[in-house]
């Protein structure tokens, strides 16, 4: 037991080192995977080489689930981009099993399902490919992602494989709209070619030609797309315009530029054979049909070749081969019917729509439950808050009642003290009232004497002015034939007013608030009994000057002095 205790620290240290090494290895793998993911778009071959350097193909299940899923996704995608045939969905299934179909959009989950769709596409499994691409389409977080548009493009391709031209055109149009927004002109050229093929399936050759012209005029179209556009133009020239020479030129261009694209070589030779057959060149038609069978092709091309060869065989003396050609034709037609069944694709789409609707209803139900739970919680909190508020309010009212009772008792005590003090105050107030009345009477007497003194001093000023020459000039203006005064006469009158009313000016200076010279002269004219118009003429003022000066005097002079100056009682006495 004691020996075991001695080894415990060593065992703990070994465990810690093992965990640290494993963690460092996992971190290194994850960093390498992230670098490969960054390289996948720009240089898929370099990304594939980086994944090869990790040597994880046999030990993928020893990785953490997240790293294993990312490796499986990247490995499958880089193989797909490097044109490595995908023959099994095992790697892609690791990614989809890890990411699943989350309730909310997730980029890596969408890419996992997109990759699985690519695998099934390489395996010519339209049904499972469509199902995988539909799942991917619903999981992308944004439509402005290139792989979202490629998902729609692949969906259109698999619809077209099942002769569902209308549904394929819808997917291609949507993909083209998104790729135009992304500025990918090369991919747009491929979609224009795909839309042309949809039109050809519907035998709408005029529309197909318009789409193909766009492809041929697109400077960003890839060489492969440009070549296939020539092949499709050959169909238009042959079936629509019946210009076999032009169709032959397009087909020769296609054959010369296809290189290793053998499936299209078979179609091109089949197309040449059809044109020769239409022109009555049976030997050339037979040679091209036979040559087309030397290349791998789709079932429809093989079926068409054997059917036409069965028709041409009697004309070339090969009637013994007709039975074999007819048998092979029916074999390919039966196989073509099986794989071209649209019902399976439609069932997948319906199942996907049902699943999306179920998820939508579940999400709405989840949101409704959450909303109701939050509303119930809010209601409980509100009830508790109201209860606490009510208790607090009752407690406050009780405290207020106690405080009011205490204050009432205190107020009663203070009231009694105040009554005693009030009696004393009343006695003192009565005494002060008598003193106030005596003082007020004395002030009134003084003011009366002051007003009388002002009137006497002003009367002296008036009498002194009326004895002078200026008074005669004024009377001459007021009662004579003169309608205006000369400038020298105005100056004389103003000078005499200033001289005779010097004592009055001192009263204004003492009692008023900064009375200016103009206001003094105007007030003297009013004392002399001049009207506003007469004052303006005598002093040479404008129409509004006298009124303004009068208004200012009202603000600057005491009320009693103002009344003395502008009342008529003083003037009537004189």
Q: Residue 242 in 3-state DSSP?
A: coil
Q: Are 149 and 175 in contact (CB under 8 A)?
A: yes
**435-453 per-position pLDDT tens digit:** 777 666 655 555 554 567 7
Residue 315 lies in a domain: yes
Where are the alpha helices (H) located in 55-106, listed in sequence order? Answer: 65-81, 90-99
**What is the reported pLDDT for 295?**
77
Residue 309 lies in a domain: yes
Residue 414 lies in a domain: no
**What is the reported pLDDT for 60?**
62
What pLDDT band is residue 38 in, cutting at 50, 70 and 90?
A: confident
**Which of residues 394 and 33 earns the better pLDDT score?**
394
Please tell me the distance from the alpha carbon of residue 263 to that of residue 243, in angstroms, as a whole number: 25
The angle formed by the CA atoms of residues 307, 312 and 317, to the nearest 5 degrees, is: 130
Percent of the chain with pLDDT over 90: 9
Residue 533 lies in a domain: yes
Q: Are 454 and 561 in contact (CB under 8 A)?
A: yes
Of the residues 85, 102, 130, which one is the last residue of a structural domain? Answer: 130
Helix (H) or strand (E) holding 143, with range, is none
* pLDDT exceeds cutoff 90 at 464: no
Residue owning tokens 């400038």? 487
* Mean local confidence (pLDDT), 193-210: 88
In DSSP notation, 346-391 reads HHHHHHHHHHHHHHHHHHHHHHHHHHHHHHHHHHHHHHHHHHHHHH
Q: Are 229 and 215 in contact (CB under 8 A)?
A: yes
Q: Are 180 and 188 in contact (CB under 8 A)?
A: yes
Q: Residue 546 in 3-state DSSP?
A: helix
* Mean local confidence (pLDDT), 12-29: 56
**270-301 per-position pLDDT tens digit:** 888 888 888 888 888 888 887 778 777 777 77
Tokens representing residue 491 in the block: 């100056």
**330-348 per-position pLDDT tens digit:** 887 776 666 666 677 777 7
| Model confidence, pTM | 0.57
* pLDDT exceeds cutoff 60 at 478: yes
Residue 449 lies in a domain: no
Domain that holds residue 80: 32-130
Q: How far is CA 433 from CA 50, 418, 426, 441, in A?
A: 112, 21, 10, 12
**What is the reported pLDDT for 568?**
46
Please tell me the distance from the alpha carbon of residue 104 to that of residue 355, in angstroms, as a whole number: 14
Taken in order 73, 75, 79, 84, is the CA torsion positive or negative? negative
* pLDDT exceeds cutoff 80 at 48: yes
**Which residue from 61, 140, 153 is spatially nearest to 107, judged by alpha carbons?**
140
The number of distinct structural domains making up the chain is 3
CB atoms within 10 A of CB 262: 13
Residue 404 lies in a domain: no
Cα 474 from chain centroid (whole Å): 86
Residue 40 lies in a domain: yes
What pLDDT band is residue 574 in, cutting at 50, 70 and 90?
A: very low
* pLDDT exceeds cutoff 60 at 468: yes
Kindly give, in sequence order, each residue whose CB lies less than 8 Å from that of residue 507, ignoring residues fewer than 6 positions away.
454, 457, 458, 561
**What is the reported pLDDT for 24?**
45
Q: Are 231 and 196 in contact (CB under 8 A)?
A: no
Q: Are 130 and 158 in contact (CB under 8 A)?
A: yes
* pLDDT exceeds cutoff 60 at 158: yes
**What is the reported pLDDT for 467?**
84
* Mean local confidence (pLDDT), 99-113: 84
**What is the reported pLDDT for 336?**
63
Residue 296 lies in a domain: yes
Q: How far is CA 200 from CA 165, 207, 235, in A?
A: 9, 8, 8
The angle formed by the CA atoms of residues 307, 309 and 312, to the nearest 5 degrees, is: 115
Range among 156-170, 225-239, 377-391 with highest mean pLDDT value? 377-391
Tokens representing residue 122 in the block: 């390489």
Mean pLDDT of the chain: 81
* pLDDT exceeds cutoff 90 at 388: yes
What pLDDT band is residue 22 in, cutting at 50, 70 and 90?
A: very low
**What is the reported pLDDT for 450?**
59
Of the residues 98, 130, 162, which one is the last residue of a structural domain? Answer: 130
**What is the reported pLDDT for 313?**
82
Of the residues 102, 130, 158, which one is the last residue of a structural domain? Answer: 130
What pLDDT band is residue 10 in, cutting at 50, 70 and 90?
A: low
């Amino acid at each position: 037991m004691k020996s075991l205790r001695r080894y415990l620290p060593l065992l703990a240290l070994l465990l810690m080192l093992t965990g640290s090494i494993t963690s460092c290895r996992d971190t290194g793998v994850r960093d390498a995977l992230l670098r490969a993911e960054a390289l996948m778009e720009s240089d898929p071959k370099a990304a594939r080489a980086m994944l090869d350097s990790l040597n994880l193909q046999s030990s993928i299940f020893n990785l953490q689930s997240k790293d294993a899923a990312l490796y499986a996704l990247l490995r499958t995608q880089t193989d797909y981009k490097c044109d490595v045939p995908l023959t099994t969905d095992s790697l892609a299934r690791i990614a989809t099993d890890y990411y699943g179909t989350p309730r909310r959009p997730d980029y890596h989950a969408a890419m996992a399902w997109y990759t699985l769709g690519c695998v099934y596409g390489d395996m010519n499994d339209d049904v499972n490919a469509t199902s995988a691409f539909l799942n991917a389409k619903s999981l992308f977080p944004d439509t402005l992602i290139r792989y979202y548009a490629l998902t729609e493009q692949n969906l259109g391709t698999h619809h077209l494989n099942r002769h569902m031209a209308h549904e394929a055109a819808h997917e291609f149009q949507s993909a083209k709209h998104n790729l135009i927004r992304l500025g990918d002109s090369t991919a747009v050229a491929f979609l224009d070619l795909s839309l042309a093929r949809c039109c050809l399936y519907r035998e709408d050759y005029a529309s197909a030609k318009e789409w193909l012209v766009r492809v041929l005029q697109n400077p960003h179209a890839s060489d492969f797309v440009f070549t296939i556009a020539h092949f499709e133009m050959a169909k238009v020239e042959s079936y629509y315009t019946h210009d076999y020479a032009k169709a032959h030129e397009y087909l020769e261009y296609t054959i010369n530029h296809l290189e290793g694209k053998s499936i299209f070589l078979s179609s091109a030779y089949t197309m040449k054979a059809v044109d020769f057959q239409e022109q009555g060149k049976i030997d050339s038609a037979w040679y091209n049909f036979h040559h087309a069978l030397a290349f791998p092709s789709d079932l429809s091309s093989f079926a068409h070749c054997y059917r036409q060869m069965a028709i041409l065989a009697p004309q070339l003396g090969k009637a013994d081969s007709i039975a074999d050609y007819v048998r092979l034709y029916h074999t390919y037609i039966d196989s073509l019917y099986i794989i071209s069944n649209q019902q399976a694709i439609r069932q997948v789409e319906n199942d996907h729509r049902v699943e999306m609707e179920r998820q939508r209803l579940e999400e709405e139900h989840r949101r409704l439950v959450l909303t109701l739970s939050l509303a119930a919680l809010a209601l409980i909190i509100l009830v508790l808050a109201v209860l606490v508020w009510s208790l607090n309010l009752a407690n406050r009212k009780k405290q207020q009642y106690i405080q009011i009772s205490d204050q009432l008792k205190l107020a009663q005590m203070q009231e009694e003290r105040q009554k005693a003090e009030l009696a004393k105050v009343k006695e003192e107030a009565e005494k002060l009232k008598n003193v106030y009345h005596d003082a007020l009477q004395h002030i009134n007497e003084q003011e009366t004497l002051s007003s009388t003194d002002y009137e006497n001093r002003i009367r002296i000023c008036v009498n002194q002015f009326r004895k002078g020459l200026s008074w005669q000039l004024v009377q001459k203006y007021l009662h004579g034939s003169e309608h205006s005064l000369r400038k020298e006469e105005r100056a004389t009158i103003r000078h005499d007013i200033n001289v005779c009313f010097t004592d009055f000016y001192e009263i204004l200076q003492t009692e008023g608030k900064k009375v200016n010279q103009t206001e003094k002269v105007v007030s003297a004219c009013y004392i002399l009994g001049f009207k506003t118009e007469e004052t303006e003429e005598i002093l040479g003022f404008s129409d509004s000057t006298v009124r303004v000066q009068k208004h200012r005097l009202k603000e600057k002079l005491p009320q009693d002095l103002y009344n003395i100056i502008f009342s008529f009682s003083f003037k009537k006495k004189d």
